Structure 1
Amino acid sequence: MATLTIVVFMGLPIYTIALRLFSGPGETWQHLVDHVLFDYLLNSFWLLLGCILLTLAMGVSAAWIVSRYRLFGHKWLEWLLILPLAFPSYITAYAYAGFFDYGGTLMRITQVLGLGSLRIDIMNVPGLIFVLSVSLFPYVYVASRAVFVYQSGRLIEASKLLGANEAKTFFKIVLPMARPGIIAGLVLVIMEVLNDYGAAKYYGVSTFTTGIFRAWFALEEPATAIYLSAILLLIVFAFIFLERWQRGNKSYELASKSKIRLPQIEATKSIRFIFLLLVFLPILFGFLLPVLQLGYWSILTFDKVASTEFFTTALQSLGIALLTALFTVLVALMTLYFPVWNRLKFLKKSGSLAILGYAVPGAVLAIGVMIPTLQLDRWFISIGERLFNMELGLLLNGTLSVLLYAYIIRFLAVAANPVLSNQLKLKKSFSDASRLLGRGPFKTFLAIDLPLLKPSLLAAFILVFVDTMKELPLTLILKPYDFNTLAVKAYEYASDEQIMEASLPALCIVLTGVVPIILLNRFILNDKHN
């Protein structure tokens, strides 16, 4: 019963959107189809295509270079390449808008150097592709590097013995074997691109997410927003299906069983210089330039922004992020263990349905949460009027409980994945011995599994905490009126053309994200040496 309850509550937003489709579209739906739907499709297509190509080029090349070649400072490069994940894409967009804008940092630098007044217009689709790519390429880098590190050395040695050079070995042997990992990272990039709202809105690019916001708030057409959400969900699930289908019938176990890891080799000085440049450029554009720009703006605006209201907002962000991380990890444990303890066979794999929230864009998820909670509030109001002759306000909508509920759905997969990966490494003999000694499933979990899962639980807690700090579209729709977060505050400043004032809350979010990035790299290194 507990398993079924979790699955129902976690899947409620998706069920809601599916059911509301039968109610028909809103009055403005035909207008959107005739005038703007094609723009949503076209812009989303170009964004996805551009980001796929750029993130693949940066992520795969950087992962192969640091895994295969000995470079100067390669230990630093390994984790510096992950740091752009600490930057939410909308914050990177704000930083580059100011850097390239009229009177911005680039123009001042070129004037000082006597190169004239150089300015680059980045507020367009190509600019948004660049911003999203330098923010998201670490997803591909981490997934690719994890495969390259465990790549079987025997296959590469055999390829060399057969006369294949380094380039042919990479394209014929290494890359095909790494394809499932690369595509898994690429799917995460696609999800984030489709979920983006802040960067696309600020750059004036119409996408499905900005269209959902416009239909819900500007046009006041919930039915139209639901239809747009359904189209976006179909696109997301199509990519998930393609990824599962692509890796479904293939086996890649040889590398994990081989004791010979990918050997590192020396390259000539000229090649090493080119490789260092290729690796350093993503770090420069994805982390160093944005953080320097935000730091400079923060110094200029600190006295103006650092008010009592700002620190209250920071504490509210920390509080909701901590609560979300705690409850999400608890629900993740229940999602993974309750189906195993359940005696009903049809519920054994039902827990996997509850971790689809991360595949659903934040704006879509927010609408799927808001509709049933509004219906429930209306039911409470009618009950109060009929039975107690009382006028009740909204008891659920516009409260932290609904926001927390949506966060848990959104980030349940983020918490479940580290726990699941560690759970698979636990020896079943420990649990079996505990069962033979007369302990039930729950006592066995507390005595055996829980202590062994502590590292992965900590990693899951920190990752959910940081993702909550960064979340924007879902928070914009569901947050209470008297509640704010650093992400929303940065967005409000940027929307009011106070881009410099947005730097301090943005920088706080980035600094909060650096810790788990370093932790993520430490987990990868520990796995490498085990």
Structure 2
Amino acid sequence: MLLLLPLAMPTYIIAYCYLELFDYSGEVQTAMRGVFGWQNARDYWFPDIRTLGGAIFVMSAVLYPYVYITARASFIAQSVCVIEASRTLGRSASETFWQIALPLARPALAAGVALALMETLNDIGAVEFFGVRTLTVAVYDTWLDRGSLAGATQIACVMLVFVFALLALERALRHGRRFHHTTGKYRDLPEDTLTGAKGTLAAIACALPLLVGFVLPAYVLVGDAIVHLSSGLSPAFWQAALHSLALAFAAAVLGVTFAVVLAYGRRQTRSKFVHVASLVPAISYAVPGTVLAIGLLIPLAGLDNAIDDAMRSLFGVSTGLLFSGTAFAIVLAYTIRFLAASLGAVESGLSKISRNIDAAGRTLGATVSGMLWTVHLPLLRPALGAAAMLVFVDSMKELPATLLLRPFNFDTLATQVFTLASLYRYEEAGLSALTIVLVSLAPVLLLHGIIARSRPGSSASRPIAPETKPEWALRIS
């Protein structure tokens, strides 16, 4: 579970933590100058963290869980029968891993790498702090600093090409492969306890990613939050926290609502339109926040102008900005971008509800909407809670879309961290960043539980026995 903790660290937060640690004015170099008596940077050599290599190192430390999660889930789901068959044919443990287990996990590894690449393409905070020019930063600068929406749109189109290229690459790497179990008998995968040198090396190998991706940044955040607690709990912090909570809550409600409509419509109808519409969220999640912001701003601005022109001509009143440059645009961007996470959780919950329940309800005279309200939604409470939490936390962390769509003098916790870190006021950003990390820990723990229960043969992964079902379900079945 500990190896999943870096998922709670947004890239822009871990970037500013490492700058505070390893920059020239950071703790490490300051301590070195104090110990060895060095006066300035010319007296010693220290690797510059503000480089492309530094950005790659830091982002790898926080994005590796995307590959780790998909690989772990794939390895856990593999049947022990395949591994035992390989061993009985004379292959060693390492040969079994390289020739059997790893090829079976290849589709999951490709999906994890694609997710990490998409998150890298979406990042704006980390690369900005490290002084690395990327397309995302170019969109931000072209729009806000140079005032050229057309130029930002052109760069966004180039980024969109990269997104579709990544999706095509992930598909090509999988080659359409699908693997499934050929037996209904499952047993837990055997677990070996490593001792001696192997155990020590394994512990070090597992501890290093956790140290780099979570422990060191958490040390910086906690230290900054404690030292600047009184000044950090300012009206600006509470206002930013209120904005973040309100926007994330609204996005979670809308995301779950749309996810239920799409997932339930896909379950109840064979309409091609509904099935195609349910695939759109997967593409929207892959679209970077800056590209999504550009795509929303243009039609919303056009709608605002049309309404304003109509009100001026009819009533002589100017309505101003009703949609673009408002909190509505931010909530809409959150909902679109993170609908895929919500839809996945809802569809997973619906897949566990037998269709026999639908048939029984319809024969008893229940309508489709009536079945949704009286049967499916009560059964979907855990899935709906998980979906809402995923959208809520992702919205709390989202930075690129918020930066580009927020109204003037409107800050969230994410934008507050970005602004303070950009002004080299790292310590003052500690409390806001720590708040985001603490909120983000909830889905990480949920994700670990889901993966742990996915092991074939475990008691948690087995279907519910008839005698343990609720009484009303027994009557329907």
TM-score (norm 2): 0.90
Shift of the alpha carbon at 1:457? 1.2
Match of 2:298 in 1: 371
Render the CA deviation track for 1:432-456: whole Å, top value 9, x for unaligned.
1111111111111222222222111
Letter in 2 for 1:102: Y
Contact 2:281 2:337 in 1 (8 A): no
Q: Does 1:511 align with 2:438?
A: yes
Q: Quote the residue 2:14 is aligned against.
A: 92
Code of the residue aligned with 2:113 in structure 1: it is L
Q: Closer, same or farther in 2 for the Cα pair 1:380/1:293, shift >3 Å? A: same
Displacement after TM superposition at 1:194 (Å): 0.2
Aligned partners of 2:423 and 2:138: how far apart in 1?
20
1-structure distance, mates of 2:94, 2:267: 46
AA aligned to 2:11 is: S
Does the CA-based 8 Å contact 1:399-1:480 persist in structure 2? yes
Superimposed CA distance per residue, residues 399-426 of structure 1 (whole angstroms, 9 cap, x where no aligned partner): 2112111110011001111112222222
Q: Which secondary structure does the structure 1 equivalent of 2:353 belong to?
A: coil
The alpha carbon displacement at 1:343 in A equals 6.8
Partner of 2:229: 302
> How many Å separate the matches in 2 of 1:481 and 1:93?
26
Return the alpha-carbon distance in structure 2 between the equivalents of residues 216 and 103 of structure 1. 32
> Secondary structure of the equivalent of 2:410?
coil
| CA drift at 1:108 | 4.8
The CA distance in 2 between the partners of 1:418 and 1:345, in whole Å, is 22
Rate the CA distance shift 1:438–1:124 in 2: closer, same or farther, 3 A. same
Q: How does 1:253-402 map to 2 (within 5 A)?
A: 253-254=180-181, 257=184, 259-342=186-269, 344-402=271-329
Is residue 198 of structure 1 aligned with residue 120 of structure 2? no
Moved more, 116-125 or 330-339: 116-125
- CA gap of 1:185–1:489, structure 2 versus 1, over 3 A, is same
Distance 1:519 1:526, change over 3 A: same
> Match of 1:93, as an amino acid?
A
Alignment length, in residue pairs?
452
Cα offset, 1:242, TM superposition? 2.5
Pair 120,500 (structure 1): closer, same or farther in 2 beyond 3 Å = farther
Letter in 2 for 1:234: V
- Aligned partner of 1:265: which letter? D
Give, as a single letter, the amino acid of the residue that structure 2 aligns with 1:332: A
Q: How far apart in 2 are the matches of 1:252 and 1:151?
A: 9
Q: Which residue of 2 aligns with 1:102?
A: 24
Query: What are structure 1's unaligned runs of at least 5 residues?
Result: 1-78
Q: Secondary structure at the match of 1:263?
A: coil
In 1: Cα distance, 2:87 partner to 2:27 partner: 49
- Contact 1:107–1:118 (Cα < 8 Å) also in 2: no
> What is the root-mean-square deviation in Å for CA atoms of aligned residues?
2.0
Among 147, 155, 159, the residue aligned to 1:232: 159
2:71 pairs, out of 144, 147, 163, with: 144
Give the equivalent residue in structure 2 for 1:252.
179
- The two structures have a TM-score, normalised by structure 1, of 0.81
Q: Is the 8 A contact 1:335 1:354 kept in 2?
A: no
Contact 1:340 1:348 in 2 (8 A): no
Q: 1:315: Cα distance to partner?
A: 1.7
Equivalent of residue 412 in structure 1, options 330, 336, 339: 339
Partner of 2:417: 490
- Is 1:212 aligned with 2:134? no
Find the partner of 1:438 among 365, 384, 393: 365
1:274 offset after TM fit, Å? 0.5
Deviations 1:249-282 (A, max 9, x none): 3230027855033211233411111011000100
Amino acid at match of 2:309: S
- Cα distance change, pair 516–224 in 1 and its aligned pair in 2 (3 A): same
**What's the offset of the Cα at 1:390?**
1.7
Which deviations, in whole Å up to 9, do the C-alpha atoms of 1:190-227 show, x marking residues without a partner? 11000000001111101110111122122222222112
What CA distance in whole angstroms lies between the structure 1 residues aligned with 2:31 and 2:202?
A: 27
Gaps of 5+ in 2: 39-43, 462-477
Contact 1:150 1:255 (8 Å CA) reproduced: no
Structure 1 position 113, deviation (Å): 7.2
